[in-house]
Amino acid sequence: MQKIAVLTSGGDAPGMNAAVRAAVRRAAYHGIQMYGVYHGYEGLMYGDIQEMTLGSVGDIIHRGGTILYSARSEEFKTEAGQQKAIDQLNRRGIEGLIVIGGDGSFRGAQKISEKGIRTIGVPGTIDNDIPCTDFTIGFDTALNTVVDAIDKIRDTATSHERTYIIEVMGRDAGDIALWAGLAAGAESILIPEAENDIEDIVERLESGHRRGKKHTIIIVAEGVGSAGYYADEIKRLTGLETRVTVLGHIQRGGSPTAFDRMLASRMGAAAVDLLIECKRDRMVGIRNNVIVDVDFQEALSQKHHLDLSIYQLARTLSI
């Protein structure tokens, strides 16, 4: 293999730059030319591709976002769009492609692989919702951002003796809400993977008030609905004054944590190694702190499973 390309796709995640850096430098170490594809699959179809050198990735390991930018593309979902992408790679003699992103990005990579270009996926999403890997790039940074925000909100909640309902990202997965809720000592955590009984939430809230508790923090994963809905229901049932905070895209930004930099560096380098070994149609993952690789089909056919023992632990500690 002489030429490899790398792209980032879907939502940005802290650590994507570290993964790009690792891939470019690992390729250079093995004497392989590396190309960066800008603006995801949209850029791939229209030839927004440039050669990358060691200097191209200097001083980016600490930066959030992605220097390759990202974009969503409806055209790429078509056969014609996929063929455009293949033609761009073939025109440059690029034999392998590394795709850093989530499940939608991996499905695109799978289509590229079916048409003859070896592809390897690197899981980059703050949602941590990709099967066959314990962690995805960006999750740890987003988690720390959320915990920091909750800590600050708790100061105000305490000062004003109020109930705060905080909505966090995660799409259809509750990982951010659960881990952040446990780490920040939230009284209730609402996630898609567990039953969310408003009566139970109210009972826990009122029980705390009977003990003299002056404030409450409730974390809502976006996959179960809006924080505003739960705020209205709690006020209707209890009469307690509530405040809503939707953290939004602040969770995607910022300098990646040391954990995400390490994870991204290991995964980016591993992706190059897999291509050198002539592997294709596979995803890099981490299990029990060991880098692994699994078939795209195996990964995409499974559902993400959240560890509900953590949920039970959070409930017992927040009585």
- Residues that are catalytic: 127
Around Cβ 63, how many Cβ atoms within 10 Å? 17
Long-range contacts, stretch 237-241, CB < 8 angstroms, 24+ apart? 237/198, 237/202, 238/202, 238/205, 238/206, 240/162, 240/163, 240/205, 240/209, 241/162, 241/163
Around Cβ 44, how many Cβ atoms within 10 Å? 28
CA distance 275 to 124: 19
Using only C-alpha atoms, the chain has a radius of gyration, in whole angstroms, of 22
Tokens representing 64? 């959030």
Residue 124 is classified by DSSP as B
**Tally of residues, the chain:** 319
Q: Which of 76, 133, 132, 102 is nearest to 12 (CA)?
A: 102
Ramachandran assignment for 52, one of left (phi > 0), alpha (psi -120 to 50 degrees), beta (any other): beta
CA distance 156 to 171: 27
